[in-house]
Amino acid sequence: MRCVGILTNPTDKGGQLHIAPEKLRQTTTPYTPIEINQRFLLSDPAITTLTVGAGKPEEWDAHLRMADRVEPLTPEEQATLQRMDDTMKRELGNTYCSYCFECLPCPEDIHIPEVLRLRNMAKAFDMVEFGKFRYNLFGNGGHWFPGVQADACTDCGDCLPRCPLKLDIPALLRETHEMLTGEPVKRLWR
């Protein structure tokens, strides 16, 4: 029996890829960010369906070019994804967060990995606007997007010994909050 895996709105919630910054576009060349994202997802047998929207007709083009491509990733696609990974690690240096979740739980309910994932994307690919879009949902996202903003950190230090990369988590949280905080974003889905 094959399970049906449906992913909702991976273009917008996956990085506002319809308005991707130039730095991200350069890294994913020869594919657009939407194309490589769609291939990455639909090459996974666990994912059978994507639901996508478009603000203007031409945004459909990238989705349609990859709509029937569900085979394993080609060597060129794999190389593109590896280049994105390498770029992120190079740009972040010794502040790269691997999103391993080992630092949780935080007694203040800060979703440390997600905050630092947004920082990774903002620093590596100039995805600051996407970072603000997601970061300002903290506290308003319910169980779909749990956690509070990073300025709730009390410097208790509980997370520090659990991080395998020995990151200075409170300092990175403060920096991320300064970079991304803004008007609260209300979630539009239930």
Q: Residues interacting with ligand SF4, by CB under 6 A? A: 97-103, 106-108, 110, 112-113, 116, 153-159, 162-163, 165, 167, 169-170, 173
Tokens of 147: 């956690």
Which of 131, 121, 132, 133 has its CA nearest to residue 24?
121
Cα–Cα distance, 149 to 184 (Å, whole number): 10
CB of residue 127 vs ligand SF4: minimum separation in angstroms?
A: 17
- Report the C-alpha gap between 48 and 36 in whole angstroms: 16
**For residue 124, what are its two tokens?**
């590596």
Retrieve residue 159's tokens.
């997370």
Beta carbon of residue 92, minimum distance to ligand SF4 (angstroms, whole number): 11
Determine the 3-state secondary structure of 49 from DSSP. strand
Question: Which of 20, 167 has the CB closer to ligand SF4?
Answer: 167
Smallest gap, in angstroms, from Cβ of residue 60 to ligand SF4? 35
Nearer to ligand SF4, 55 or 157 (CB): 157
79 vs 100, beta carbon nearer ligand SF4 = 100
- Nearer of residues 79 and 171 to ligand SF4, judged by Cβ: 171
